[in-house]
Amino acid sequence: MRLLTLSGQLSAPCGRDGAPCIAPTVRQSVGVARPLRLERHTPEDEAESGRTQLHLRRPGGETFPQYTPPCMSRRRDAGGVLYRQRVEPSSSHPSPVYPGLFNFCEIMEQMKSFWNDLPQPFSILAPMEAVTDVVFRHVVAAAAPPDIYFTEFTNATGWAHAGEKAIGGRLVKTDDEHPMVAQIWGGEPGDMEKLALHCRDLGYNGIDINMGCPAKSAVKSGGSALIRQPELAAEAIAAAKIAGLPVSVKTRLGYTRVDEWRDWLAHLLRQDIVNLTIHLRTKKEMSKVPAHHELIAEIVALRDEIAPETLLVINGDIETRTHGEALITENPGVNGYMIGRGVFHDPYCFAKQERAALSPETSAAGTSPDDKSREVPREAVSDESGCEIPQTVLPNPKRKEELLDLLRLHLDLFDQYQSQMHRPFETLKRFFKIYIRDFDGASALRDTLMHTRSTDEVREILNTLD
d(CA 431, CA 391): 13
Question: How many residues belong to the chain?
Answer: 466
| DSSP state string for 322-387 | HHHHHHHHHSTT--EEEESTHHHH-TTTT-SS---PPPTT-BTTB--TT-GGG----EEEE-TTS-
Q: 366 has which bridge partners?
A: 363
d(CA 333, CA 8): 34
d(CA 252, CA 405): 36
Q: Which residues contact 103 (CB under 8 A, 6 or more apart)?
A: 95, 96, 97
Q: 208 has which bridge partners?
A: 183, 248
For 444, other C-beta atoms within 10 Å of its C-beta total 12
- The yes-or-no answer on residue 213 being catalytic is yes
d(CA 119, CA 117): 7
| DSSP state string for 376-403 | ---EEEE-TTS-EEEE-PPP----HHHH
Peptide bond into 59 cis (omega under 30): no
Cα 138 to Cα 174, 181, 405, 412: the distances in Å are 9, 15, 13, 11
Check residue 266 and report its DSSP letter: H
Element (H, E) at 236: helix 230-241
Q: 72 has which bridge partners?
A: 86
Among 21, 105, 213, 349, which one carries the catalytic annotation? 213
Q: Which of 276, 350, 347, 280 shows the shortest CA–CA distance to 320?
A: 350
Long-range interactions of 73-80: CB distance < 8 A, separation 24+: 74/46, 75/35, 76/46, 77/35, 80/40
So which residues are the catalytic ones? 213
